[in-house]
């Protein structure tokens, strides 16, 4: 079908976009991520696709090389971080807008046009909905699918998939290259402090492959989330605007309270072997700890059912998650503060990073 003069005129008004994909050992998902960009309905001549590899030892770079139009940046940092990759990508381009993607995502064909259309003069970044590809494959995937997206409209922060104005990146000097988690919300805060807005559109942006099937993966992700909460809050400790303080307070009160009460209960239980008077305090501490931990499961099921628009049984499952997740969260928080005290921040090892597609 021939392009009409009106359509040609609209094409000319579209801006160029640098699409930056980051990954480490991403062979399982990289090809389909890169292919999804070229399947976009955005004009190919206005897209520059940049893959930034964080030091893979698998076939990730070889896969990217199979697509001639992909510009490859191979980094070999001792400790890879998302911020290093994203900064390396956007600084290698020159388009007025940058679309960031993780290698385990698939770009929606119509997203770029919708995103560009929403970028008004005072909007620095626009995001859409991230949908989980296989929420039915595990309860962990299903939980992720519930938590990816917030309410449409003006937003406090964005995640790893986002369309950003280059001017805002240049003014903010880009991503924090030390953080192993929370780098996107951290940049979001600096962008907002500079007077820019962030917009969330109620439209599909990407599909994501969490591929989480084990408790170990779940624990590691929650541990890093706790670390990220503490690290980002610490970055903005001297600013008046609260951010993630409610989430951190929840982790400290419920997760920290559970751990402390459990330890006190065990101590009192040991003492009760020699002095029976220590048994009642032991039981009180144990019960209080369990109440703090399972507060969402006991009292919040109906709220989750209405807020997440899910069934009662699904709300109970989600309540179990909200109850238990604060335990690895609090250990992540403690790891941040211990690392800050000893000047030993949490770092990624290239050998332990990999994208596991389903």
Beta bridge mates, 73:
52
Integer Rg of the chain from CA: 23
Kindly state the average pLDDT of the residues 228-245.
Answer: 87
For the ranges 233-237, 249-253, 317-321, the lowest mean pLDDT is seen at: 233-237
pLDDT in tens, 208-232: 989 999 999 999 999 999 999 999 9
pLDDT value at 296 more than 90: yes
- What does each C-alpha distance from 111 to 198, 239, 242, 315 come to in angstroms? 16, 34, 31, 31
* In the chain, domain spans: 5-213, 245-352
Lookup result for tokens 């419920």: 254
In terms of pLDDT, which residue wins out, 153 or 270? 153
Please work out, in degrees rounded to the nearest 5, the angle formed at the alpha carbon of residue 81 by the alpha carbons of 76 and 85.
65
| 280-293: burial string, b at 16+ Cβ within 10 Å, e else | ebbeebbebbbebb
Query: Which pLDDT does position 354 carry in this prediction?
Result: 55
What number is the average pLDDT over the span 321-342?
A: 97
Please check the confidence at residue 312 and state whether its pLDDT lies above 70: yes
Confidence of residue 353 (pLDDT cuts 50, 70, 90): low
* Statement: residue 358 has pLDDT above 50: no
Position 5 pLDDT exceeds 60:
no
| C-beta of residue 101 within 8 angstroms of C-beta of residue 21 | yes
What is the distance between the alpha carbons of residues 51 and 30, in angstroms, rounded to a whole number? 9
With 0.75 as the threshold, say if the pTM is over it: yes
Helix (H, G, I), strand (E, B), or coil: what is residue 68? coil
Instruction: Count Cα atoms within 13 angstroms, Cβ side, for 76.
Output: 2
- Residue 29 confidence (pLDDT) above 60: yes
- Structure-block tokens of residue 244: 């993630």
Closest by CA position to 50, among listed 26, 28, 34, 31: 34
pLDDT-derived band at 128 (thresholds 50, 70, 90) equals very high
Tell me how crowded residue 71 is: count the other CB atoms within 10 A of its CB: 16
Among 146-160, 230-244, 267-281, the least confident range: 267-281
Alpha-carbon distance of 314 to 303, in angstroms, equals: 12
Q: Is the pLDDT of residue 326 over 70?
A: yes
Fold of 5-213: Spore Coat Polysaccharide Biosynthesis Protein SpsA; Chain A (3.90.550)
The predicted structure's pLDDT at residue 71: 97
**DSSP secondary structure string, 201-265?**
EEEEEEEE-----SHHHHHHHHHHHHHHHHHHHHHTTTSSS--SHHHHHHIIIIIIHHHHHHHHH
What does pLDDT average to over the chain? 91
Residues in the chain: 358
pLDDT in tens, 155-202: 999 999 999 999 999 999 999 999 999 999 999 999 999 999 999 999
Beta strand pairing status for 47-53 and 70-74? Answer: parallel
Question: Which ranges of the chain does DSSP label H, i.e. alpha helix?
Answer: 5-13, 30-38, 60-65, 82-91, 111-118, 139-147, 166-172, 183-193, 215-235, 245-250, 257-272, 279-293, 295-299, 301-308, 312-324, 326-342
Position 237 pLDDT exceeds 90: no
| 3-state DSSP assignment of residue 26 | coil
The pLDDT, as a whole number, for residue 273 is 66
pLDDT at 6: 45
Specify the residue for token string 């190919």. 44
Residues 29-39, mean pLDDT to the nearest whole number: 96
């Amino acid at each position: 079908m021939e392009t009409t003069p009106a359509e040609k005129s609209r094409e000319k008004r579209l801006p160029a976009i640098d699409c930056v994909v980051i990954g480490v050992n991403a062979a399982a998902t990289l090809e389909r991520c890169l292919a999804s960009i070229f399947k976009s309905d955005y004009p190919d001549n206005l897209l520059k696709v940049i893959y930034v590899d964080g030091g893979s030892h698998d076939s990730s770079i070889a896969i990217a090389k199979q697509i001639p139009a992909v510009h490859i940046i191979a980094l070999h940092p001792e400790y890879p971080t998302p911020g290093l990759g994203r900064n390396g990508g956007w600084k290698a381009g020159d388009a007025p807008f940058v679309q960031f993607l993780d290698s385990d995502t698939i770009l929606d064909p119509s997203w770029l046009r919708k995103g560009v259309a929403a970028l008004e003069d005072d909007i620095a970044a626009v995001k859409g909905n991230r949908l989980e590809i296989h929420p039915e494959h595990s309860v962990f995937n299903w939980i992720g699918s519930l938590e990816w997206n917030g309410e449409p409209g003006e937003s406090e922060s964005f995640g790893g998939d986002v369309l950003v104005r280059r001017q805002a990146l240049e003014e903010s000097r880009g991503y924090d290259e030390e953080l192993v988690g929370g780098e996107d919300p951290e940049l979001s805060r600096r962008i907002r402090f500079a007077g820019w807005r962030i917009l969330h559109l109620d439209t599909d942006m990407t599909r994501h492959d969490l591929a989480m099937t084990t408790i170990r993966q779940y624990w590691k992700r929650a541990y890093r989330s706790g670390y990220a909460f503490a690290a980002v809050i610490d970055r903005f400790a001297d600013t008046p605007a609260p951010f993630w303080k409610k989430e951190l307070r929840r982790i400290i009160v419920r997760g920290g309270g559970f751990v402390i009460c459990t330890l006190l209960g065990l101590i009192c239980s040991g003492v009760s072997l020699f002095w029976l008077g220590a048994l009642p305090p032991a039981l009180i501490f144990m019960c209080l700890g369990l109440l703090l931990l399972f507060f969402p499961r006991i009292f919040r099921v109906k709220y989750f059912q209405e807020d997440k628009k899910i069934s009662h049984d699904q709300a109970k499952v989600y309540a179990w998650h909200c109850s238990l997740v604060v335990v690895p969260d609090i250990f992540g928080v403690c790891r941040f503060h211990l690392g800050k005290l000893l000047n030993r921040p949490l770092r990624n090892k290239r050998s332990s990073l990999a994208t596991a597609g389903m």
